[in-house]
Structure 1
Amino acid sequence: MTLFYKKIHLGHVYMQLWPRDKTLAAMFPENRIITAVEFAIRWLPVLIVMSLASQFLLGAATFWPVVMASVFFMLSLPLQGYYWLGQRAETRLPPSLSKWYVDINNKLGQQHLVRQPRYLELAETLNRAFRQLDKSFILD
């Protein structure tokens, strides 16, 4: 079970590291997943309370199992997003992105690079690049 929690935590860390730039949204699905997770964290508690209140006030007792199943499903949605992000953070970069990772690090003047970079290292590098370089590094 600790592996699951580590992956959820890594997904949260990865979500915080990933730069929110529109130019990256066309190349990576991370922006859409992060937006969905943030939306779920903000609005699902309201939806859960509303569905429980409406069931309590208006629903028949026979529908409680269905309502509880849907509540548990809604509670799991942000965790699914964090898990996906954690899994993505641990995934090794394909060769084309690995070369791009090396090129960006060379522009940043980094000497020691990870031999087999993951998406987590790419997120760190992109975050640094957006702070230190202009956006032309994306097109190179």
Structure 2
Amino acid sequence: MAHSVVSMFKDGQDYLNTWPVKKELYPYFPECRVIAATKLALTVMPPLAILVCAVMVNIQGLAYLPQALAIGAFFLSLPLQGLLWLGHRSNQVLPPQLKHWYQDIHRKMQAEGCEISSMKTRPQFKELASLLKVAFDELDRIFTQKWFQ
């Protein structure tokens, strides 16, 4: 299913806010590193783009305005690239091994009495993110720690 670029950015933002950035997940998923880098880029890159453009035009003169704007646009594109990657990733179907892990965690959480959405037959990364978020928010640390040994 094709997604528009705007919906990919929205999905990326939702995924960024849903994925639990926990130390247990860092070795297994690149999401944690991408989310940390994207959050930093969202904070730092817009002011840095303005600063670089202003300094470049101030030092080089208006003749270098196109180059300054290109560099500023590059800096502004970095957080957008992170959101785009996250949006694309959130809509990917889980590979078989992760699908079994998702189903196992889902069953264990249902057994513990957690209120979670129904199990999907073709789960995507966004469903895994929601499930892990509920697990880390509601379940005991010792219970969730068993999943990562």
Q: TM (normalized to structure 1)?
A: 0.91
- Report the counterpart of residue 67 of structure 2 in structure 1: 66
- Report the counterpart of residue 48 of structure 1 in structure 2: 49
Pairing partner for 2:132 from 96, 119, 126: 126
Contact 2:38 2:82 in 1 (8 A): yes
Percent identity of paired positions between Structure 1 and Structure 2: 34
CA RMSD, aligned part only? Answer: 1.7
- More helix per residue: 1
- CA distance in structure 1 between the aligned counterparts of 2:94 and 2:119, rounded to whole angstroms: 13
Provide the aligned length of Structure 1 versus Structure 2.
Answer: 139
- CA distance in structure 2 between the aligned counterparts of 1:8 and 1:83, rounded to whole angstroms: 5
Contact 2:24 2:148 in 1 (8 A): no
Q: TM (normalized to structure 2)?
A: 0.86
Taking a change above 3 Å as real, the CA distance of residues 105 and 49 of structure 1, as seen in their structure-2 partners, is same
Task: Report the CA distance between 1:137 and its aligned residue.
Answer: 4.0
Please identify runs of 4+ aligned residues in structure 1 that moved more than 4 A.
none
Deviations 1:37-58 (A, max 9, x none): 1111111122112112212321
2:18 is the counterpart of 1:17? yes
SS in 2 for 1:19: coil
SS in 2 for 1:114: coil
Structure 2 gaps of 5+ residues are: 111-115
Alignment-mate amino acid for residue 135 of structure 1: T
2:140 is the counterpart of 1:139? no
- CA distance in structure 1 between the aligned counterparts of 2:122 and 2:49, rounded to whole angstroms: 42
